[in-house]
Chains A and B, each alone.
Chain A
Amino acid sequence: MEPIIVVEDLQVAYGDKVVLDGINLSVEPGEVFVILGGSGSGKTTLLRNLVGLMRPQAGRILIDGRDFTSMSAAERMDIRRTMGMCFQGSALLGSLSVADNVALPLREHTKLEESTIDIMTRIKLELVGLGGFEDYLPSELSGGMRKRAGIARAMAMDPKVIFYDEPSAGLDPIVAAGLDELIRTMQSTFNLTSVVVTHEMESVRIIADRVCVLHQGRVAGIGSLDELERSDHQYIQQFFARRPDDPGTADADYARSLTNID
């Protein structure tokens, strides 16, 4: 089976600062692919490029074999309709009810009747455990419930691929475990391809089929968790062992950042 996402030699910079430097990876249909890395590793930038919120300086992203980076705006919109994005802060519209937030993409992008949309919305909310909360405003929900509502909205259009940006960030372990279970259930029932950006190792152990570790804008390793745990890559070992940076290295980095002298 062909990969659903292929990234080739991706390069992204903010001004002079190169954030992603020659990224190559592929995501198989139906897998949960985790992008793992510390703060500033480039994982959120990679995600933004994958969903088309940013354009790279060089390289290509193929979605279903089509070059997502060079296509027209109309073609990109077609592809984006097959994707769901679950943002870190949920990005729900505060003035709309939970149900209206979930229904919004269906009203905007399809010709479905309102009665069909209403049932679909209720199905999605039931799926994420928010049945009965249709009329609540986002501000009336807890953090975990807002995340779930965000997933329901990302699922509204029955996407082929769903992207999650730090789904468990800021949640207590029980709520986070519930979200992990939900991600797996979605994957197994709909054969949904999931790309998850996170640095929560506990979640990775539960949800990941394969993991890509990013370090300083480059791929440090890609494989199953078992394979990566046996990796001899210094940063991967440090990340998995939760070892802090050597203070000497941190001092040198600090001095370098102030003086611009290598």
Chain B
Amino acid sequence: MKIETTVTADETIIAVEGDIDLYSSPELRTAVLKAVPRATTGVGVHLGGVTYMDSSGVATLVEGLRSAKENGKTFSLVAPSTSVMKVLELARLDSIFEVRSG
């Protein structure tokens, strides 16, 4: 998994590539929980390059959303693939996230 964080005046974008699984998700968790309190308005997690996401990835995104609410920031998922959305739907958590295409 590869993570790249870009800070702009409006939003912090965390772009993820590869597999988000039990072994890589702690790294994403660290990046998200570090970025949220520092972001100007909020964080967008770009999932366009994600090839596989398991439930540890879903849990990480939920933790990011929780942290954003606690810090009064926005938290959105950007360009999630169909397979990522399917996992979120199965977990019945697709509706709690703001999702945008790009």
- Interfacial residues, chain A to chain B (CB-CB below 8 A): 106, 110-113, 115-117, 119-120, 123-124, 126-127, 157-158, 185, 189-190
User: Which 5 pairs from chain A and chain B are nearest by CB?
Assistant: A158-B54, A119-B59, A189-B90, A116-B59, A120-B59
Interface centre among B25, B29, B63, B91 (most CB of A within 10 A): B91
**Contacts A119-B59, A123-B55, A123-B59; is A112 near B91 (CB within 8 Å)?**
no
A158 adjacent to B21 (CB under 8 Å): yes
Interface centre among A106, A113, A116, A189 (most CB of B within 10 A): A116
Contacts of A190 in B (CB 8 A): 54, 87, 90
What 7 additional pairs, Cβ within 8 angstroms, besides A110-B22, A190-B54?
A: A106-B22, A112-B56, A116-B59, A119-B63, A120-B56, A158-B22, A158-B55
A123 adjacent to B22 (CB under 8 Å): no
Taking CB atoms and an 8 Å cut-off, the chain B residues in 55-102 that contact chain A are 55-56, 58-60, 62-63, 86-87, 90-93
Q: Which label, helix, strand, loop or mixed, suits the secondary structure of the B interface?
A: helix
Which residue of chain B is the closest to A155 with respect to CB atoms? B55
A115: which of B23, B25, B63, B87 is its contact (CB, 8 Å)?
Answer: B63
| Count of interface residues, chain B, beta-carbon cutoff 8 Å | 20
B87 adjacent to A189 (CB under 8 Å): yes
In the assembled complex, the Cα of A158 lies from the Cα of B90 at a distance in Å of 13
In the assembled complex, the Cα of A112 lies from the Cα of B56 at a distance in Å of 8
